[in-house]
Amino acid sequence: RKEVEQDPGPFNVPEGATVAFNCTYSNSASQSFFWYRQDCRKEPKLLMSVYSSGNEDGRFTAQLNRASQYISLLIRDSKLSDSATYLCVSLNQAGTALIFGKGTTLSVSS
Amino acid sequence: DADVTQTPRNRITKTGKRIMLECSQTKGHDRMYWYRQDPGLGLRLIYYSFDVKDINKGEISDGYSVSRQAQAKFSLSLESAIPNQTALYFCATSDPRQGNTGELFFGEGSRLTVL
pLDDT in tens, A5-36: 998 889 999 999 999 999 999 888 888 899 99
pLDDT, position A92: 78
User: Which pLDDT tens digit goes with each residue over A52-85?
Assistant: 888 999 999 999 999 999 999 999 999 999 999 9
Contacts of B100 (CB under 8 A, 6+ apart): A46, A49
Say which of B44, B58, B101 has its CB closest to residue A32: B101
CB B63 within 8 A of CB B82: yes
pLDDT, position A97: 82
pLDDT, position B90: 97
Q: Look at residue B95 and tell me whether its pLDDT is greater than 90.
A: no
CB B64 within 8 A of CB B46: yes
Mutation for testing the B interface, residue in A32, A43, A45, A52 having most B CBs under 10 Å: A43
Of the pLDDT bands very low, low, confident and very high (cuts 50, 70, 90), residue B109 is very high
pLDDT, position A109: 96
Neighbour-count burial of B27, counting CB atoms closer than 10 A to its CB (0-12 exposed, 13-18 middle, 19+ buried) = middle
User: Which pLDDT tens digit goes with each residue over B2-58?
Assistant: 799 999 999 999 999 999 999 999 999 999 999 999 988 889 999 999 999 999 999
